[in-house]
Structure 1
Amino acid sequence: MLKENKGKIIITSLIILLPVIVGIYFWGELPDPMATHFSFDNEANGWSPRAFAVFGLPLFLLVIHGVCLAAVTLDPKRKSINGKMLQMIMLICPVCSIFCSIQIYGYALGMDVDGRVLAHLLLGTIFVLIGNYIPKCRHNYTVGIRLPWTLADEENWNSTHHMAGWLYMAAGLACLANIWLRVSWLTFVAIMAAVLVPAGYSLLLYVKKKGKSGK
């Protein structure tokens, strides 16, 4: 997998590190410490040293990028992973790096950047895309809803991912709609539902099947 996508891996890794170049260019204009965490209302509520904001965050995302790619490569069932889902895995960290840098540098330089809009746009888009492709992701050990019941039973895997696809898309659309709705609890509820409901559904399928086999 690494050899086949060597060019894409290099490009996505460079994109992740692009904010470092921006940070070096504006180094003298950036405050120390810098705001690196923001509330739902776009108020800064967490700060980090300038060096960490410029170098640490992109490097952290680069490490996560490498770990994700390595995990997919080492998966004995990696050929079962949907090709478009693999492309998404390669794009998530670069996109997050760019979005985070826009918010962090924009705020530090006094620009009018609405981090709430950026966060909802990023979350909504990711959930919609995952919801579209995850039902097509065949049984594997790395990408998907990895629970004891889904990993042990391919039928459970397929049913859970089919249902989760619709739920993820609904959660993504809720996040996107909340850019205009501005309902403080909506995004949290949508994300929690997308995480917990498929897990509960998978467990229900397992219990139901176990009950039938017990009879």
Structure 2
Amino acid sequence: FDLAGQPNGWMPLIEAMLFGPAIGALIWFLCLVRPVPPVAALATSVAIAGGQLLIVGKALGQSWDVPRYTTLLLGLTWILVGNSLGKLPRNRWAGIRTPWAMADEEVWARTQRFGGWAFILAGFATLAMMAVPLKEGRLALLMAPMAAAGGLSVLRSWQIWRELHPGAAPSRRIGRATLALLVLALLPLLAVAANRLGFLGQAWMVRLVLAAVVAIVAAAAIRKADGTD
């Protein structure tokens, strides 16, 4: 579906019915290879199940409001994630994994508690968009609450580190890696905003978003391999 909620691709019925279960089976296999916390598994399951329900429903002729349905699904997902963040032990696979949180148990705990409330509020803010008669582009605005929750959580993590370690700071290398990840994380939001303002075509917007996702994964892998994780 595009940002206006219209299907931008079609597939045979059998493939459409098997698409969601196939992705679910793949993620299940990956979780066997590399176990993840329950919150990550549950949030992923909710997103896949909701997406599959939407695809099958539209294929069967249901006149669902795709942007409104997606708003509901994402809002509930953020609330679910936020409700579980504060319970996460320090780990390498899920949570708000800033360098400062990974370096200190207290920073980790306080960062996850703050992030939990931030994502819960982001979820309710996303749900509130269902009551607003937004025009085409509702889906583009859904990134804003999540981006705000993530950005504020990172800043709060740094602030907590400074409070607990006033005379110390992570290395410049860690700071540069974190800054690069933040910039890359904001790139999709900026690309969508530029598209809505007419400065960027949809094709280029999609390319920038995909490039940002690839760059984020690459930067995170480099940071981990370089010992900055």
Name which of 113, 120, 129 aligns with 1:178. 129
User: Are 2:177 and 1:198 equivalent residues in the alignment?
Assistant: no
- Residue 219 of structure 2 corresponds to which residue in structure 1? none
Whether the aligned pair in 1 keeps the contact of 2:72 and 2:130 (CA below 8 Å) is yes
Q: Which residue of 1 aligns with 2:16?
A: 53
Say if 2:3 is the partner of 1:43: no
Count of paired positions: 164
- Could you list the runs of 5+ residues in structure 2 that have no partner in the other structure? 170-229
Partners of 2:66 and 2:148 in 1: how far apart?
A: 23
Pick closer, same or farther for the CA change 1:69–1:123 going to 2, 3 Å.
farther
Structure number with larger C-alpha Rg: 1
1:66 to 29, 44, 47: 29
Q: Is the contact between residue 76 and residue 123 of structure 2 (CA under 8 Å) also seen in structure 1?
A: yes
Q: Which amino acid aligns with 1:198?
A: S
Partner of 1:143: 94
- Aligned counterpart for 1:189 among listed residues 144, 148, 160: 144
1:134 counterpart (85, 93, 96): 85
CA distance in 2 between partners of 1:62 and 1:71 (Å): 14
Q: Cα distance, 1:105 vs. partner?
A: 2.1
Percent of matched pairs sharing the same residue:
27
Q: Secondary structure at the match of 2:9?
A: strand
Q: State the TM-score, normalizing by the size of structure 1.
A: 0.64
Q: Distance in 1 between matches of 2:28 and 2:98?
A: 22
Aligned residue for 1:95, secondary structure, equals helix
Give the 4+ runs in structure 1 shifted more than 4 A: 207-211
Alignment of 1:103-114 (within 5 A): 103-114=54-65
User: TM-score when scaled to structure 2?
Assistant: 0.61
Preserved CA contact (<8 Å) 1:103 1:114: no
**Aligned-CA RMSD value:** 2.6
Stretches of structure 1 that go unaligned for 5 or more consecutive residues are 1-36, 74-80
